[in-house]
Amino acid sequence: MAKERKTAVASPRRYTVGGAVFEAARPEPGLYLVATPIGNLADISLRALEVLAGCDLIACEDTRVSRRLLDRYGIATPLTPYHEHNAAAARPKLMARLAAGAAVALISDAGTPLVSDPGYKLVRAAQDAGHAVTAVPGASSVMAALNVAGLPTDRFFFEGFLPAKQAARQKRIAALAAVPATLVLFESGQRLPATLADLASGLGARAAAVCRELTKRHEEVRRGDLATLSRDYAQGAETRGEIVIVVAPPAEQSGEAGDVDALLRQALTRASLKDAVGEVALATGRPRRAVYQRALELSKDAGDGAP
């Protein structure tokens, strides 16, 4: 009698990391908000992989983009589109799946769901219906940009995309001028030069950073005052890719003596005196000479207090 041929069938609840295959438990019913990489596909947590592999359905912005991530980790969970153009029609279908006891994951094309996407309406609907909603945190371009911008991070205001039309954009920038926090904005490469010109005109000589293609092969962070950055990009600096702009808070807010001291102490733990002074002067808008003098005083005080 001929031997029965065994056919390998991929489990819908598995994921692969570095060639090793892991079984994924099915999560409890509910909605899971799963952060995905913002560029480098290795920037995903094991918990996120287990939830994505174990759930019944993944709602995503673009199935083609999300499929690349799932293929990288051998995840076979079905995908369904959920984005700003189909959300009204797709939301009831997802709610029906939740009502039937499904575990549904919501992801964006990159980063943390609900940041500049319509996911909050699905979250609110799920909560109103009594379904569990769970965050599976991870990558965020907002936090990554704040990490590398070299600007104050104690308070920040996420604006997202400014209006595309210049008059509306300038009006919104004027409203943001008094916000006592570091500003974080998204922008497209095509509009970046015009946006930087309007920011320089509306906010003055604030320190800023343009963070492009974070975590990707061509990652670039340009720092300087808004006028300098505006000139660089008007003259042809590279604008392709995903872009986050970080702008320092108003000088009168970021340049108070206590803030300067705190920033200096923090900077001096990781940089030379010269580099720390330059970093804090750029971040606060204070004269470099004044910041240098204060750094010397802090260094002397620390020396006097040493045993």
Please check whether residue 116 lies inside any domain of the structure. yes
Q: Which residue is associated with the tokens 């991530």?
A: 69
| Torsion sign over Cα 51, 57, 61, 67 | positive
Q: Give 266's pLDDT tier (boundaries 50, 70, 90).
A: confident
Beta strand extents in the chain (DSSP E only): 14-17, 20-23, 30-34, 57-60, 79-81, 103-106, 133-136, 156-161, 182-187, 207-212, 220-225, 243-247
- Those residues whose C-beta lies under 8 Å from the C-beta of residue 302, and which sit 6 or more positions away, are none
Residues 243 and 149 in one domain: yes
pLDDT attached to residue 298: 84
Nearest Cα neighbor of 156 from 168, 167, 145, 171 is 145
- Mean pLDDT (whole number) for 259-263: 76
Same domain, 22 and 106: yes
Q: Are residues 172 and 220 located together in one domain of the fold?
A: yes
- CATH code, domain carrying 205: 3.30.950.10
pLDDT band at 283; cut points 50, 70, 90: low
* In-domain check, residue 76: yes
Residue 4 lies in a domain: no
Q: Of 135, 70, 72, whose CA–CA distance to 106 is shortest?
A: 135
Q: What are 19-44's pLDDT values in tens digits?
A: 999 999 999 999 999 999 999 999 99
Give the pLDDT mean for 61-84: 96
Residue 120 lies in a domain: yes
At residue 115's C-alpha, the angle toward residues 149 and 191, to 5°, is 60
Clarify whether residues 229 and 267 are in a common domain. Answer: no
Whether residue 1 lies inside any domain: the answer is no
Percent of the chain with pLDDT over 70: 90
Q: How many domains does the chain have?
A: 3
150 and 188, same domain (yes or no): yes
Helix (H, G, I), strand (E, B) or coil at 62: coil
Q: Which residues contact 78 (CB under 8 A, 6 or more apart)?
A: 56, 57, 58
Q: Check pLDDT > 60 for residue 267.
A: yes
pTM: 0.77
Residue 146 within a domain: yes
Indicate whether 3 belongs to any domain: no
Domain of residue 259 covers 255-302
- How many residues belong to the chain? 307
pLDDT tens for each residue of 189-247: 999 999 999 999 999 889 999 999 999 999 999 999 999 999 999 999 999 999 999 99
Q: Determine which of 117-126, 153-162, 179-188, 254-263 has the lowest per-residue pLDDT on average.
A: 254-263
Q: Are residues 177 and 264 in the same domain?
A: no
Say if residue 126 is in the same domain as residue 163.
no
Percent of the chain scored above 90 by pLDDT?
Answer: 73
d(CA 67, CA 62): 9
Q: CA-to-CA distance for 214 and 273, rounded, in angstroms?
A: 28
Find the mean pLDDT for residues 116-126.
89
**230, part of any domain:** yes
Three-state DSSP class for 176?
Answer: helix
Tell me: do 66 and 26 sit in the same domain.
Answer: yes
Same domain, 246 and 291: no
